Amino acid sequence: MRKSRGLFQGLVVAIFGVTMVAVAAAPASAANVRPQAACDPIFFYQVDRVGNPWYSSIGSAVGKYNSSTSTSTLSITLSQTTSRSTAWEVSGSVSVGWGIAKIEASTSYTVTNTTSTGVSVTDTISVAGHHYGYAQPKVEYRKFHIRYMQGLANCNVVTNTDYGYMDAITAYPFFSECTATAACTPTP
């Protein structure tokens, strides 16, 4: 048996003419010990809102004239003539209902699956004297990115499954409005 000095100690054993070498690390001093990062592996859904909202019409703009000399609140009845839906941009693996459930569970938004047609809604708008007030029913869309994430033992986080992007209706009905001395186009 032979001992060598340094970081490793080697042990040579001869058994029946076969030489075997076992190498073991020498005990480290407290000064050489660096803590290893260790995290419990976890899985979780991540829902991120992407970009700015946008609006799509679900009916025509309707206007009223305030013939009074003072500001009045006008009620405008609007008809919903177009149906809009929450939809995946690209995803073939899960349903729209599943995506809506993930968005609602992870954010403060309530998502509408599909709007109805043939329904009347009323908007009230404050209009100055001798001005027109216009309103138009719309839906507000927001884009969400839905992923299933994995936290690794080394504390890194990676995407396990990318479900894609969902265009979700987050406000329904949404009223675009405008007031002017002549006809105007409701925005946004």
pLDDT tens for residues 48-68?
A: 999 999 999 999 999 999 999
- For residue range 1-20, list pLDDT tens digits in order: 444 444 434 433 343 444 44
Radius of gyration of the chain measured on its C-alpha atoms: 33
Cβ-Cβ contacts under 8 Å for 83 (sequence gap 6 or more): 58, 114, 115, 116, 117
> Does residue 163 form part of some domain?
yes
Strands (E) in 58-116, as ranges, are 62-66, 72-80, 87-88
- SS3 for 86? coil
Query: Could you give the number of structural domains in the chain?
Result: 1
> Does residue 167 form part of some domain?
yes
Structural domain that includes position 152: 42-180
Q: Which parts of the chain register pLDDT below 50?
A: 1-30
> Does residue 188 form part of some domain?
no
Q: Quote the CA–CA distance of 119 and 135 in Å, as a whole number.
A: 16
